[in-house]
Structure 1
Amino acid sequence: MKKSFSILILFLLCITANAQSDKPVLFTVKGTLLDSITKAGEPYSTIRIYRKGTPNKPIKVLTTDVNGKFTQKITEEGNLVISFTSVGKKIVSKEFSVKSNSATIDLGSIYTKENTNELKGVEIVAQKPLVKTEIDKLAYNIEDDPDSKTSSTLEMLRKVPMVTVDGEDKIQVNGSTKFKVYINGKPNNMISSNPTEVLKSMPANSIKSIEVITNPGAKYDAEGISGILNIITVGKGMQGYTATFNAGAGTTGSNAGAYATVQSGKFTVTGNYYYNHYKSPDDMTGFSKREDFTSTANKFLTNSSSTNYKGNYNSGNVEASYEIDTLRLITFSGSLFGGANKSNAIGSTEMESASLDPVYSYNTNNSSKNSFMSINANVDYQRSFKKKDELLTLSYRLSGSPRTTDAYTYYTNLLKDVPTLNDLHTKGDPSTTEHTFQCDFSNPLTKDQTMELGAKYIIRNSNSDDKYYITTPGGSIYNEDKDRSSKYSHLQDVLAAYAGYSLKYKSLGFKTGLRYEYTMMDVKYHSNKGQDFDAHFSDLVPSANLSYQIGQTQTLKASYNMRISRPGIWYLNPFINNSDPKNISFGNPNLNSEKSHSFELNYSSFTQKFNINLSLGHTFVNNSIESYSYINNGVLNNTYENIGKWASTRFSSYINWNMSPKTRVYMNGSTSYDDFKSDKMNISNNGFSYNLSGGLQQNLPWELRLSLYGGGSGSNISFQGKSSGYSYYGFSLNKSFMNKRLTLSAYARNLFNKSINFNSTTETPSFRFYTETHYPQRSFGFNISYRIGELKAGVKKAARSIQNDDVKSGGGDSKGAPASN
């Protein structure tokens, strides 16, 4: 019986084995196709897998995903060939063998090759995805958007996911104005302190892409609550030579620029330069009214004004590299941004009692000239090792930001009991110089694990010499007012160290880090006005990011980030600015760093037809630095304290649909619920806000490209009030000639609306303040661009470099209020 049972079991095993042998064996082939120049993933390349010698009989046909990756199951064994076909690239083929004991065949990284043969009579209409996501950031490809030919960088920001631009052109990243701006991976504090004016003057055709880093890791400076905008400029440096020239003119001014690249042996230089002249097409008019709840004699203060503005801006970048040998590389980069502007304003001021009887009134005439410059220079030494991706980088950065201001204010038509007002002349020449030393080390522990370590030391020296000159009543000779003038130096040392760890396991990605920063600040006055003070800050900043690759085109991410916002000198400076005797301001040297905590869930799916990015996040700050205003004896006092609590829950969405190879439709929007509180001021404010933008891009016959766009927002909630919504619209049309070397573009914006009306309300227990401003919006013009030369190979750059973004900007105006950012 046992023998029969054993024979039966043996028979069944044989049947099972035979059945299994009849089942096809599955093998997995995977790898990544990379651009040989940029080392970026080559998206949507056509893949064919076939037996060696039979290229016309593929066994599998597929495409790479948006990151150039591919994974495919096959049942064939033996010698096979995989080939990749991409637009403008040579066909790349690679042989591989599949054996019976194989499970996964990892082909690793495969590189494309440029196709130097020019195709004639072929129209390429396929559209690249404009958005690309990574574990800690997303990037919008400005260069591939037709609107970039006729728009400013500020206008293109309206299309970038996680970024909004309101009716006053104020920028928000992830719902907050507290962000930092980088240029080519290097921070620019001058642009961070006034991004609206700078980016408004920067033509978008000088930009390659804009990265939104809402979850910066430990390697980034901890400053910037809502994240970082990293602006990548064109002219990425390639072998051979190339040069592009462009120019444009319109109702808001004119612009011109060029960029070029030259390589000789191991030494490569690339650079660009842009000039822009900007002017307001019409005067900007404003009206404001303040109601004093503490007085009946001086109850209502009304102001009206009209301002015109014009300015010239210059910007440029240069990069150079020298490859000592295969393991050692030296790179140099420099940049400048500067210019000068003039403005003229006339205004009238009237004070009324509670019964609307006139108390006093006067007119003002103001003219001002300002100049500014931001200069940066970096030197990086990169040492590679035999282990792949193991890098040691030593960096030094020198930067300077000189500025000058020169303004006159005249008072006329003084009626009744006017406060003592003297004609005023103010001059200032603030400047900042920075020396930064940094060391970064990246060590891949295994194929899927990487450890990062680094340290930084910043020496920052700022000086300011502000002089106030006044006349005697009815006089014409200016004498310095020693009580208002101020001269001081601001020394700041920052010590920082970080450690980061990243892991990638199959479809999972994990990145975490910890950063420590210690700041020493010392302010000394060189005049009788002002009191010396010092401050110290110590901050420990953690971060964590988790991603899961659902499929080849879909990613789910979760993150936590702590960010800080240190008070700058204008927040800390106790100097009393009483240039306007009815509106004085002073800082608070006892401020602490703001600390924000952010949680975010993100889903993205990017295919050749349909792109979508959805984010749900919550951010809260329990010690936010807020402007604290109160009225005392009819004088408005402005200072700062850590008195705010702020929480925001925000949902953002970006959708792009390539309806056909010639038609693209996109939408970018967000909605949030914001809650502001202050126990000390006994105030609270909350509510919903939203913004929406969208458009259509269409390729027309005769190689014409049409773009229609528009958008707007509802009211926005702030700490002490709210502001009105806005709307905008426009279109552009461009055409290329001479194998796309010459491009002509025309544009028009808000043709049926001369201006946009924007109002805001601020209310405290002691006063209510209402403003209404009319901004000129109608504009139209044209651009021309011409390219010469050819490019073949890429310029090597250091993988790491210095990034300083550790100062909370503020205090840009004469009142000592924080600059808008």
Structure 2
Amino acid sequence: MMKNLTCMIIFSCLLSYVAYAQEKQGVIRGFVMDSVTKKPIEYMTIALKKENTVLKSVIVEATGEFNFKEISSGKYVVTAIAVGYAPKNFPVEITASAKDINLGRIFIVGQSNDLKEVSVTADRPIIKQESDRIIYDIQADPEAKIMTALDMMRKVPLLSLDAEDNIQLKGSGNFKILINGKPSGMIARSPKDVLRSMPASSIQKIEVITTPPAKYDSEGLAGIINIITTKKIDNGYNGSLNLRHQGPVGGPSIGTYFTVKQNKLGITGYGGTGFYSSPNVFSETNRTTTGEDPTQLSNIGSRKFDNNFRYGGAEISYEIDTLNLITAELNPYSGYNNSSNDQRISLTGNQQNSSYDIIGKNKYRWSGFDATVNYQLGFKSDKSRLLTFSYKYTDNSNPQDNALTFMNRQNFLEPDYKQHNESKSREQTLQLDYVHPVKKVNIEGGIKGILRDNNSNYEYLVQDQGTGGFNVDPERTNKFDNNQDVIGFYNSYALNLDKWSFKAGVRAEGTFVKANFTSAGTNVNSDYFNIIPTLSMSHKFKDMSNMNFGFTQRIERPGIENLNPFVDRSVPNFESTGNPNLEAVVSNNFELTYSRFKKGNINIGVNYNYANNTIQSISIYNEADQITRSTFENIGKNKALTSNININFPITPKWNISMNGNFGYTWLEGTINGKITQNEGVTGYGYVNTGYKFANTWKANASFSYSAPWVQLQGSSSSNYYMSLSGSKEIIKDKLTLSAGINNPFTKYRYFTRTTEGANFVQTMKYQNYNRNFNASLNWKFGKLKDAIKKNQRSINNDDVKSSSKSGT
């Protein structure tokens, strides 16, 4: 099957022009005019549709003229659409006797109110540029029916995935992810685990907010990723069901969403579960040290894991009347990751040599619950004025267990041991938002309070050689309590003119931290205050292009993993710990972007970011006990200059190609053990995709991506590439779709390498992952919807805490 699929893709690329040429026959032409001024309407979009499918779209000339050439016989609909005008449709038919259709002058009626966004079904652009963000329309991408949400991240401008499938924004892992504009406990722990389980078909669009407005919390140095799920709350009912399987790495998954609307009550629900498992793969760590007693450490073994994630959500909306709206949201989630490691470790040097085998069993579990209630009040004098009250409650736990057994010991006396970590977090948020438009200026303001209570209980249990039981080692056990309260105020202004639009605002945040580390005997009381400005502007040109500029500051607050002084000794000769004295970091970000939308679209941008006193992960080798210790310090000075480009171009009505990438240079500097350490290097990511639509409801896609090495203060990682071939078939039009694909067909494994260097050591970690895998999915849409229901326009967005980079895989 996959061989046939590959042949189909190659065949379509080679013969698409020939097939297209065989259909060339008639011409459809006309002029569009303003019904009042009787003048041509420049840059209006004209779409040619057949059976609700867009075949071609053109932008009219300065004279108002448009034409579609070489059109095959059949019945069509010509649609004219532009912001500020009512859409207009014209049925036409090309026959053997009527090949030249001239619609003459078409008078278009203007609308009294400007439309914020006008679209034609099935011909909306995949990418849209606004002054402070780039929007990727997932539903306009045919591959959404087969890919997971994580797969789609490779296609979104400014986003990429590294060799471990970690998401990066402009080459940085420091960002925030929101679901429908709100933080989600289920995605905060490890985004890739959730997004692997979520079908892309359940997502409407992804927003990459590079200059977040003042209403957003200031956390996330690189910006914000906002995932908008498909939730059409309309009269009637609608839904979808997606079944997917991937192997040999991966497993089955299922995702669903539904909407029900009856009069003033609307309910949306979504959920899913997925498995992601891997057979045994190779791993290796080598460390070479210098000094008076040089050593060589070798750690060779294998690892395997199985991962499950379960997520769900429900939104209930009740419209009391035209001015009063109540909504509630519930989001439960849970999951686990079980992994096992078999390793052979040997340490050689001038003194005593040692070696031993390790069997490691690791179990990560997580569960939680989010609940939000919103009340929105409108005003009779101006329905654009809105006052919103919101309350959010979050509760989650993340227990972790590690068990290590040593065998075949040679000069190694460490007993078997276990580690248990019981961590919990509770959070309450109160928020008030007010929106007040004054002519062409939209004014927003608000106040927000967050109360956080984090605690964890780390236990280190050592085996008693006499009884075989395990006893708690108090010196390696830690109880941790962390209370963090944040209060924020914001005020922002948006001005929209004919050619210019401006957004400016300021956010003031006070943070109050109180932490108690029981076993370490450490108390941390840290209060700080930040004022965060933001500015973005956009200018529209006559050729359907625009230029955008943005500036903002962002904050990185240390999270619980960064602060906790508990020492993780799960692997001998290596220790890692947090630092309770870490401080918040402020970064400065400037960006300039040019976009043009005509037959296709192009986005080109340049970004410069700098920050001082950044939090860096550092590793230091101690020759006395032969241990490498890793922790976090506020020592970094970061600078990055990055360019990015995105092109989406329809070669023919059936054949499309898109390219997405960024290229930049990063400078890092920090002081480690009194010595200045510097590193710099090229960063980059490139992605190309091509898709072809066959006449008989078959679709085929092919894509390729490449990621340059990741630059770190003390080293770098290896580069990686990704290739995908896929195809789909609509069994029942717009209802049932069968899809299948293969990733990386030419290489079974890929190898990831990360090198860390210090004053007296070089350490290299290398491990193997399955590279080639197959997937198949079945997507079913059901139900019918009618008219829309109101939803809250403001809600809670807690994006102010540094997310964990840890993952079960």
TM-score interval, normalised by the smaller of the two chains? 0.7 to 0.9
Q: Deviations over 1:243-301 (max 9, x none)?
A: 32221223120012222111122111011121112212x3232111112233425x111
The CA distance in 2 between the partners of 1:46 and 1:617, in whole Å, is 31
TM-score for the superposition, normalised by structure 1: 0.84
- Inter-partner Cα distance in structure 1 for 2:246 and 2:90: 39
For the Cα contact (< 8 Å) 2:199–2:255, is it kept in 1? Answer: no
Aligned length: 728
Query: Which deviations, in whole Å up to 9, do the C-alpha atoms of 1:287-336 show, x marking residues without a partner?
Result: 11112233425x11111221111122111121111111111111112223
Structure 2: gaps of 5 or more residues: 1-35, 46-53, 62-77, 92-105
Distance change (3 Å), C-alpha of 1:96 and 1:776: closer
Deviation at 1:46? 10
- Of residues 794, 803, 806, the one that matches 1:809 is 803
**Structure 2 Cα separation of the partners of residues 336 and 667 of structure 1:** 37
* Pair 358,671 (structure 1): closer, same or farther in 2 beyond 3 Å: farther
Distance 1:811 1:476, change over 3 A: farther
SS of residue matched to 2:675: coil
Say if 1:180 and 1:189, in contact at 8 Å, map to a contact too. Answer: no
- Within 2, Cα distance between the matches of 1:646 and 1:111? 38
Structure 2: distance between partners of 1:30 and 1:330: 43
Contact 2:546 2:594 in 1 (8 A): yes
- Alignment-derived partner of residue 439 in structure 1: 432
Instruction: Work out whether 1:85 is the aligned partner of 2:89.
Output: yes
**How far apart, CA to CA, are the structure 1 residues paired with 2:572 and 2:780?**
55
1:136-535 map, 5 Å: 136-188=132-184, 191-251=187-247, 252-280=250-278, 282-296=279-293, 299-353=295-349, 359-385=353-379, 386-415=381-410, 417-418=411-412, 420-446=413-439, 448-473=440-465, 476-525=468-517, 527-535=518-526
Return the alpha-carbon distance in structure 1 between the equivalents of residues 483 and 667 of structure 2.
36
**Structure 2: distance between partners of 1:572 and 1:127:** 49
Alpha-carbon distance in structure 1 between the residues aligned to 2:304 and 2:571: 22
Task: Please state whether the residue corresponding to 1:176 is helix, strand or coil.
Answer: coil
2:286 maps to a residue whose letter is K
Alpha-carbon displacement from aligned partner over 1:571-616 (angstroms, at most 9, x marks no partner): 2333444455632333333322111101100011223x31111110
Q: Distance in 2 between matches of 1:722 and 1:542?
A: 33
The one-letter amino acid paired with 2:730 is S
Aligned match of 2:560 in 529, 547, 569? Answer: 569
Deviation at 1:106, TM superposition (A): 6.0
Taking a change above 3 Å as real, the CA distance of residues 701 and 30 of structure 1, as seen in their structure-2 partners, is closer
Is the CA contact 2:693–2:699 (under 8 Å) kept in the aligned structure 1?
A: yes
Residues 689 and 29 (structure 1 numbering): CA distance in 2 closer, same or farther, change over 3 Å?
closer
Please give the secondary structure, in 1, of the residue aligned with 2:196: helix
1:367-398 CA-to-partner distances (Å, cap 9, x unmatched) read 12221124211111111112141111110011
Which of 599, 613, 616 is matched with 2:590 structurally? Answer: 599
Q: Which position in structure 2 is the counterpart of 1:134?
A: 130
Output the CA distance in 2 between the equivalents of 1:213 and 1:189: 20
Conserved 8 A contact 2:540-2:546: yes
TM-score by length of 2: 0.85
Aligned equivalents of 1:265, 1:535: Cα separation in 2: 51
Contact 1:185 1:803 in 2 (8 A): yes
Q: Distance in 1 between matches of 2:494 and 2:545?
A: 20
SS at match of 2:621: strand
Is contact 1:721–1:763 with CA below 8 Å preserved after alignment? Answer: yes
What residue identity is the alignment partner of 1:396? Y
Instruction: State the secondary structure of the residue aligned to 1:155.
Output: helix
Counterparts of residues 663-682 of structure 1 (less than 5 Å): 663-679=655-671, 680-682=674-676
Quick check: 1:249–1:782 contact (8 Å CA) kept in 2?
A: yes
- C-alpha contact 2:171 2:683 (8 A) present in aligned 1: no
Contact 2:306–2:339 (8 Å) recurs in 1: yes
Determine if contact 2:426/2:454 at 8 Å carries over to the other structure. Answer: yes
Residue 620 of structure 2 is matched in structure 1 by 630
Q: Distance in 2 between matches of 1:228 and 1:114?
A: 25
Q: 1:69 to 1:317 in 2, by over 3 A?
A: farther
Contact residue 569 and residue 576 of structure 2 kept, 8 A: yes
Q: How far apart are residue 781 of structure 1 and its match?
A: 2.6
CA distance in structure 2 between the aligned counterparts of 1:62 and 1:197, rounded to whole angstroms: 43
Question: What secondary structure does 2:696 align onto?
Answer: helix
Alignment CA distance shift 1:312-1:574 (3 Å):
closer
Aligned partners of 2:544 and 2:596 also within 8 Å: yes
For the residue of structure 2 that corresponds to 1:753, the secondary structure is: coil
Aligned alpha-carbon RMSD (Å): 3.0
- Between 1:391-400 and 1:191-200, the stretch displaced more is 191-200
Instruction: Report if aligned partners of 2:656, 2:692 keep a CA contact under 8 Å in 1.
Output: yes
2:80 & 2:513 partners in 1: Cα distance?
56
Secondary structure class of the residue paired with 1:429 = strand
Q: Any residues of structure 2 matched to 1:640-789 within 5 Å, and which?
A: 640-679=632-671, 680-789=674-783
> What is the aligned partner in structure 2 of residue 75 from structure 1?
none
In 1, the alpha carbon distance for the partners of 2:117 and 2:497 equals: 26
Secondary structure of the equivalent of 1:198?
Answer: helix
| Contact 2:206-2:228 at 8 Å conserved across structures | yes
Counterpart residue identity of residue 403, structure 1: N
Q: Measure, in 1, the Cα distance between the counterparts of 2:428 and 2:41.
A: 50
The amino acid of 2:282's aligned partner reads T
Contact 1:30–1:108 (CA under 8 A) maintained in structure 2: no
Matches within 5 A, 1:571-586: 571-578=562-569, 580=571, 582-586=573-577
- Report how far residue 628 of structure 1 moved: 2.6
Matched, 1:108 2:102: no
Post-superposition CA distance 1:45-101 (Å, at most 9, x none): 9999xxxxxxxxxxxx98435xx455xxxxxxxxxxx652399xxxxxx9999xxxx
Structure 1 distance, partners of 2:805, 2:766, is 23
Q: 1:624-670: per-residue Cα shift (whole Å, max 9, x none)? A: 11123212222222222211111000001111111122111011111
Kindly provide the CA deviation profile for residues 178-207 of structure 1, in whole angstroms up to 9, marking residues without a partner as x: 001111111125524422333233222222
Deviations along 1:383-436, one digit per CA (max 9) or x if unpaired, are: 111214111111001111212222211111111x22x31212222221111100
Q: Take 1:619 and 1:678, find their aligned partners in 2: how far apart are those partners?
A: 17
Q: Find the aligned partners of 1:490 and 1:689 in 2 and give their Cα distance.
A: 36
CA 1:445–1:401 in 2, change beyond 3 Å: closer, same or farther?
same
Q: 1:619 matched to which residue of 2?
A: 609
In structure 2, relative to structure 1, the CA distance for the partners of 1:224 and 1:542 (3 Å cut) is same
Cα separation, 2, equivalents of 1:451 and 1:533: 39
Q: Could you say if the C-alpha distance between residues 270 and 454 of structure 1 is closer, same or farther in structure 2, counting changes exceeding 3 Å?
A: same
Three-state SS of the structure 1 residue aligned to 2:651 is strand
Opposite residue 565 of structure 1, the aligned amino acid is E
Tell me the alpha carbon deviations over residues 765-784 of structure 1, each in whole angstroms, 9 at most, x when there is no partner.
Answer: 13211121211121113111
